[in-house]
Amino acid sequence: MLKISVPATSANLGPGFDSIGLALAMPLTVTLLGPSQDWQVEHPFGAAVPTDERNLIVKTALSLAPDLAPQRLKVTSNIPLARGLGSSSTAIVAGLAVANELSTKPISKNDLLLRATELEGHPDNVAPAILGGLVVATYVDQNVQAVQLPIPELFASVYVPNEELLTSASRKALPVQLPFKQAIAGSSIANTLVAALATQNWSLALTLVEQDRFHEQYRAKLVPALATIRATAHAMGIVGTYLSGAGPTIVTLGTQVDLKNLQAKLKQNTSLTGQYHLLPVDAQGIKVDKS
* Known binding-site positions for ATP: 80-90
Q: Quote the CA–CA distance of 183 and 102 in Å, as a whole number.
A: 45
Nearest to 60 by CA among 94, 12, 24, 108: 94
Q: Where is the binding site, in residues?
A: 80-90
Q: Quote the CA–CA distance of 287 and 87 in Å, as a whole number.
A: 17
Q: Find out whether the peptide bond into 248 is cis, omega within 30 degrees of 0.
A: yes
Q: Quote the CA–CA distance of 154 and 130 in Å, as a whole number.
A: 20
Residue 151, amino acid = I
The CA-to-CA distance between both ends of the chain, in Å, stands at 6
Q: Where are the alpha helices (DSSP H) in 8-86?
A: 56-64
Residue 205, amino acid = A
Residue 266, amino acid = L
